[in-house]
């Protein structure tokens, strides 16, 4: 006799392999969110299965830059809030997948528009146009117990979709791990630290799913009629505490056993409160509350859709990918540390030059390199203010502007080194090596220049 879990899995497999439309021919699929973490991979998977993919993007020109295998059209789920906006785009479309989602709001991206009003308009248009299949990518936790604005906004669209006369399914992924994912970067960074910080004891339950498994399951849902009118959790093989998940990632990167640093929950909540006021951070009050609530569900549906159990976290990073994943994890915290260290050098140097170090001795050094008394104050205080500006600029600027700043620093250090070599060559023989230390500084600046995005 089959065990209960095996009977459930067999029943789910029969559901998945039940009546399906004829997907052996090419069908047209409209995909929103095709430039995102899951959406871009789903576009490739659907195109690889032989379907015609139409990507609805705010900037269709970006599809070619991202090498998306789809025909890009202009659409904005945050602005196209009427069914009439979407009906013309659904002509000839057999299936629709909504993969748009944001974890935190910004000045231009709001939950009410992107998660509720826009999807409702799209789903209403699908019903009017007779679309054969609609798949809504929601989130695990968007249920009756939801309290976060993220989950509540997702649930509002889910409820609306399931109330329409459509062959629709709401997919609720748990934490999805994969290269390029925001959560993957965060957890890989944490797992690679010499001391791995944990909120409290790190016993918050998670059930991470690899992005490749998530996409494979989504393709199965798009191509079939399984789970019509239902919510389907997509999760990893088993729940595990956050502590164990981070340990698994660390071992997968080849970094050895972790040393954990439990952080009192009160301090974590204080940091989350501060994070709520800072844009771009994953940790805020709501994301911490979602983590504390837990993110788990039975894996039966995922197993049935895949035809096998989803891969465990120990297999998230293949052996061939280990060096790259380890390097990315380490650089995720070593590069910011290096930036802050170099910023501190410039800022402290500027402060010392403004008067902490004896001004008379500074003037004496300037005289030895040929700066007369009339220009010495301008040179001393001008250089000090420049040092301060460079340090602040490192912390404040991003992208191309900071990339230019690394070149400015390299040029300035080379200039200082050339002048000192010419007029004060004895500093090369100083036992503390004040000029020799410019060599690793230059190497660090070039590394930051080369790795700066933008």
Report the pLDDT value the prediction gives residue 10, as an integer from 0 to 100: 43
* Residuewise pLDDT in 10s, the chain (454 residues): 334 444 444 444 444 444 445 455 668 999 999 999 999 999 999 999 999 999 999 888 877 667 889 999 999 999 999 999 999 999 999 999 999 999 888 888 999 999 999 999 999 999 999 999 999 999 999 999 999 999 999 999 999 999 999 999 999 999 999 988 888 888 999 999 999 999 999 999 999 999 999 999 999 999 988 899 999 999 999 999 999 999 999 999 999 899 999 999 999 999 888 888 877 677 788 888 888 888 899 999 999 999 999 999 999 999 999 999 999 999 999 999 999 999 999 999 999 999 889 999 999 989 998 898 889 999 999 999 999 999 999 999 998 999 999 999 999 999 999 999 999 999 999 898 889 999 999 999 999 999 998 6
In angstroms, the CA 79 to CA 75 distance is 8
Residue 361: how many other CB atoms lie within 10 Å: 9
Report the pLDDT value the prediction gives residue 16, as an integer from 0 to 100: 46
Can you read off the two tokens belonging to residue 232? Answer: 């389907």
Residues whose CB falls within 8 Å of the CB of residue 23, separated by 6 or more in sequence, listed in order: 51, 223, 224
Q: Which H or E run contains 260? A: strand 260-263
Report the pLDDT value the prediction gives residue 276, as an integer from 0 to 100: 80
pTM of the model: 0.85
Residues whose CB falls within 8 Å of the CB of residue 157, separated by 6 or more in sequence, listed in order: 115, 116, 119, 120, 123, 136, 138
In angstroms, the CA 87 to CA 90 distance is 5
Residue 313: how many other CB atoms lie within 10 Å: 25
In angstroms, the CA 212 to CA 190 distance is 22
Q: Which domains does the chain possess?
A: 4-317 (3.40.50.720), 332-451 (no CATH)
Can you read off the two tokens belonging to residue 64? Answer: 């070619």
Can you read off the two tokens belonging to residue 152? Answer: 């509540």
Whole-angstrom CA distances from 153 to 38, 112, 173, 406 are 19, 7, 16, 42
In angstroms, the CA 171 to CA 138 distance is 6
- Are 74 and 57 contacting, i.e. CB atoms less than 8 angstroms apart? yes
Report the pLDDT value the prediction gives residue 65, as an integer from 0 to 100: 63
Angle at 221 between CA 217 and CA 226, to 5 degrees: 120
> What does DSSP say about strands 260-263 and 196-199: parallel, antiparallel, or unpaired?
parallel
Q: What is the three-class DSSP state of 31?
A: strand
> What does DSSP say about strands 71-74 and 52-57: parallel, antiparallel, or unpaired?
parallel
Closest CA to 179 of 252, 239, 105, 242: 252
């Amino acid at each position: 006799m089959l065990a209960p879990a095996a009977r459930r899995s067999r029943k789910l497999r029969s559901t998945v392999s039940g009546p399906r439309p004829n997907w052996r021919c090419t069908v047209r699929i409209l995909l929103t969110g095709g430039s995102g973490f899951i959406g871009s991979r789903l576009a490739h998977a659907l195109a690889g299965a032989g379907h015609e993919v139409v990507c609805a993007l705010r900037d269709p020109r970006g599809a070619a830059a991202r090498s998306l295998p789809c025909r890009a059209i202009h659409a904005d789920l945050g602005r196209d809030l009427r069914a009439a906006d979407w009906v013309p785009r659904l002509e000839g479309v057999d299936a629709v997948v909504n993969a748009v989602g944001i974890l935190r709001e910004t000045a231009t991206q709001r939950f009410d528009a992107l998660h509720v009003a826009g999807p409702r308009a799209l789903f209403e248009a699908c019903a009017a146009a007779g679309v054969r299949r609609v798949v809504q990518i929601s989130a695990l936790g968007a249920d009756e117990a939801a309290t976060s604005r993220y989950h509540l906004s997702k649930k509002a669209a889910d409820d609306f979709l399931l109330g329409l006369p459509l062959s629709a399914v709401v997919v609720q992924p748990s934490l999805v791990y994969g290269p390029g994912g925001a959560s993957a970067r965060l957890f890989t960074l944490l797992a690679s630290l010499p001391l791995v910080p944990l909120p409290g004891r790190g016993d918050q339950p998670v059930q991470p799913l690899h992005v490749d498994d998530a996409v494979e399951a989504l393709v199965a849902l798009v191509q079939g009629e399984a789970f019509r009118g239902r919510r389907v959790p997509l999760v990893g093989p088993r729940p595990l505490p956050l502590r164990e998940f981070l340990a698994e990632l660390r071992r997968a990167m080849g970094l050895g056993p972790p040393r954990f640093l439990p952080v009192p929950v009160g301090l974590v909540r204080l940091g989350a409160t501060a994070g709520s006021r800072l844009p771009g951070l994953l940790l805020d009050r709501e994301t911490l509350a979602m983590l504390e609530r837990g993110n788990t569900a039975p894996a039966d549906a995922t197993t049935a859709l895949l035809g096998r159990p989803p891969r465990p976290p120990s297999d998230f990073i293949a052996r061939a990918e280990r060096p790259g994943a380890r390097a990315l994890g380490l650089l995720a915290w070593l590069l910011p540390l290096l930036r802050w260290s170099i910023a501190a050098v410039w800022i402290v140097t500027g402060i010392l030059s403004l008067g902490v170090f004896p001004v008379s001795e500074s003037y004496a050094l300037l005289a030895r390199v040929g700066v007369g008394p009339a220009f010495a104050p301008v040179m001393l205080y001008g250089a000090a203010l420049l040092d301060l500006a460079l340090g602040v600029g490192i912390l404040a600027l991003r992208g191309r502007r900071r990339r230019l700043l690394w070149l400015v620093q390299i040029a300035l250090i080379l200039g200082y080194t050339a002048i000192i070599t010419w007029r004060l060559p004895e500093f090369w023989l100083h036992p503390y090596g004040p000029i020799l230390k410019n060599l690793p500084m230059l190497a660090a600046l070039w590394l930051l220049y080369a790795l700066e995005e933008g």
